[in-house]
């Protein structure tokens, strides 16, 4: 790597720190703990999309053009999702957290960063298998299961709400027969999750 490329990389690293701080200070989204290589790759793609030669120019647009931030989130957020994507996580949840959850008469569940919903559906299935899903019910309407789902990418949540039937059909095709049966059993309850 020649001296000019080293200087450019160092300048980009400085711009990156300033950019991430600006996002946090202005919009209260904290990307400071994200993998630097992934952020750099995503922000370079965003720079191309927004027609910005430098990250400083993108930061200027971010701070002065309110419409830029929601579109930028599509570049910054991870939009990868699948049913039971991280088996070690769900195993740890089942082994370490579920026993504690059993001690509570009711549960409030929030799936942050739900992308297109696979994590929410996976968690609902796990809770149902463990006999805990009914404990998330609305105290005024015991038939309504309450799982809060949020994602920084608002377009993803809109897609999840409008495509829930197609979503289930698509996901059913990718599952093994046993997993398919589990999802089908939970589907009646899960459909109500997004009704709210």
Single out the residue of 119, 101, 102 nearest to residue 110, CA to CA. 119
Tens place of pLDDT for every residue, the chain, 196 residues? 688 888 888 999 999 999 999 999 999 988 888 888 989 999 999 999 999 999 999 999 999 999 999 889 888 876 667 778 788 989 999 999 999 999 998 888 887 776 667 788 888 888 888 988 888 876 566 555 667 766 665 555 555 555 555 555 555 566 666 665 555 555 544 454 444 4
Answer left, alpha or beta for residue 113, where phi above 0 means left and psi between -120 and 50 means alpha. left
- With vertex at residue 38, the alpha carbon angle to CA 122 and CA 45, rounded to the nearest 5 degrees, is 110
Confidence at residue 177, expressed as pLDDT on a 0 to 100 scale: 63
Single out the residue of 124, 160, 159, 165 nearest to residue 145, CA to CA. 124
Confidence at residue 34, expressed as pLDDT on a 0 to 100 scale: 86
Single out the residue of 149, 89, 99, 158 nearest to residue 124, CA to CA. 149
């Amino acid at each position: 790597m020649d001296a000019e490329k080293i200087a450019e990389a160092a300048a980009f690293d400085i711009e990156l720190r300033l950019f991430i701080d600006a996002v946090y200070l202005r919009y209260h989204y904290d990307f400071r703990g994200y993998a630097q290589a992934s952020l750099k790759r995503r922000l370079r793609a965003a720079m191309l999309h927004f027609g910005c030669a430098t990250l400083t120019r993108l930061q200027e647009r971010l701070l002065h053009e309110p419409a830029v931030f929601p579109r930028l989130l599509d570049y910054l957020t991870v939009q990868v999702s699948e049913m039971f994507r991280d088996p070690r996580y769900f195993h740890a949840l089942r082994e370490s957290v579920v026993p504690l959850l059993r001690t509570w008469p009711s549960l409030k569940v929030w799936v942050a960063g739900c992308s297109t919903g696979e994590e929410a559906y996976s968690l609902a299935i796990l809770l149902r298998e463990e006999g805990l899903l009914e404990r998330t019910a609305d105290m005024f309407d015991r038939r309504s299961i309450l799982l809060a789902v949020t994602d920084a990418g608002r377009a993803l949540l809109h897609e999840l709400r409008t495509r829930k039937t197609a979503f289930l059909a698509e996901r059913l095709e990718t599952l093994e027969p046993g997993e398919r049966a589990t999802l089908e059993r939970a589907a009646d309850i899960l459909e109500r999750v997004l009704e709210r």
